[in-house]
Amino acid sequence: MIAELYRSLAAEMDSLRPLWSSAEGLRAPVPETLVDVLEGPPWWGYLGRVDGYPVGFLLARDEALLPQAGGSTVGSIRFIFTMREAREVGVGEAMMNAFEADAARRGVRLFDAHVSPGHRESKNFFESRGFTARSIVMHRGEG
């Protein structure tokens, strides 16, 4: 199920940024990578549903900061996706709430969200939850 949703995410992101699947997506073959990811820590997975039907997913991982941060961990939202027809009904919000509550129980108080430039919906979603940019990756292709 998540593999199908991931394919939809990859198609959407590749249309915005052709390098996305090769640089920021999951390692191929995706179904096998998802099995590894969903086995548990440091990864966390959530499935968003509407009337019992899966319409979205969130994959995040706990990432340790550098030693000078005193052992702090960041809850890094690597992938969040909701099918277009199910957006604006609170699925993303519900997945985020579940992840943040679970992370808080693990002592995580810092959060990152990986958002691609040009994906205004994602940027707006995270900004509405208090996120601000702290890093931008610049890229130059050949030609």
Considering the entire predicted model, what is its pTM? 0.92
Q: What is the pLDDT of residue 30?
A: 96
pLDDT at site 139: 80
Distances (CA, A) of 5 to 11, 15, 30, 41, 52: 10, 16, 11, 21, 15
Residue 34, SS3 per DSSP = helix
Mean pLDDT by 10 residues, the chain (143 residues): 95 91 94 93 96 97 95 96 94 97 96 89 93 86 63
Give pLDDT, residue 137: 82
Q: What pLDDT does 65 receive? A: 95
State residue 142's pLDDT score.
Answer: 64
Domain residue ranges in the chain: 2-128
So what's the pLDDT on residue 8? 96
Q: Give residues with Cβ within 8 angstroms of 100, minimum separation 6.
A: 75, 111
The answer to whether domain 2-128 has CATH 3.40.50.460 is no
